[in-house]
Amino acid sequence: MKAATGFSLVEVLVATTIVIVGVASLAHLFVVSADASRLAHSSSMALLAAQQKLEALRADAIGLGLSPPGTLGANTPPYVDYLSVDGTSLNATLTLPPVGTVFVRRWSVEPLSGSSREGVQLQVVVIPWNASRPNVPGAAHLVSVKARRAG
């Protein structure tokens, strides 16, 4: 007698099921990877925008006036600006973000140890424009201290 050399219908169905499950898990992996890449890009852009503002503040920190309380938690002109997708400032005089806003950048200048004569503490927060709080994924929060020079 001749031995059977073909595949049965059950074997084909089992093999097809295994391939479908594998492809479906790979599709989910691509979605997760795309989300992680988008978040990493957003975080990098926010950090770069925060670093640029912090450097600008440090350059003239002592000459700046102290900010009112709550400037990191609310859009308080002139301690806020709105950034486009390429990091360009759109309009710093508005309380609401203008069209094209991708990030909201807020900063504060506070006295160090209760006295602005010793120095100031600088904080910059950059958040996605639709975020309600500063500690969301894709946000950046930088803090620096600028002391007055003795003499």
Percent of the chain beyond pLDDT 90? 32
Q: What is the pLDDT of residues 98-109, one digit of tens each?
A: 888 889 999 999
Report how far residue 130's alpha carbon sits from residue 128's, in angstroms, rounded to the nearest whole number: 6
* Confidence class for position 86, pLDDT limits 50, 70, 90: confident
Domain for residue 21, yes or no?
A: yes
DSSP 108-138: EEEEETTEEEEEEEEEEEEEETT-SSTTSTT
Tokens for 5, please give them: 């050399």
Rg of the Cα atoms in the chain: 26
Report helix, strand or coil for 13. helix
Whether 125 has a pLDDT exceeding 90, the answer reads: yes
Domain for residue 42, yes or no?
A: yes
Count of CB atoms situated within 10 Å of the CB of 92: 13
Domain for residue 1, yes or no?
A: no
Q: Are 51 and 103 within 8 A, CB to CB?
A: no
Q: What is the pLDDT of residue 50?
A: 94
Report helix, strand or coil for 64. coil
Q: What is the pLDDT of residues 29-69, one digit of tens each?
A: 888 899 999 889 888 999 999 999 999 998 875 566 789 99
Domain that holds residue 29: 9-147
* Confidence class for position 149, pLDDT limits 50, 70, 90: low
Q: Please tell me the chain's helix, strand, coil percentages from 3-state DSSP, rounded to the nearest 5.
A: 35, 25, 40
Q: Are 50 and 43 within 8 A, CB to CB?
A: no
Look at 131 and 102; give whichever has higher pLDDT. Answer: 102
Report how far residue 50's alpha carbon sits from residue 42's, in angstroms, rounded to the nearest whole number: 12
Domain for residue 4, yes or no?
A: no
Domain for residue 13, yes or no?
A: yes
* Confidence class for position 114, pLDDT limits 50, 70, 90: low
Domain count, the chain: 1
Domain for residue 34, yes or no?
A: yes
Domain for residue 2, yes or no?
A: no
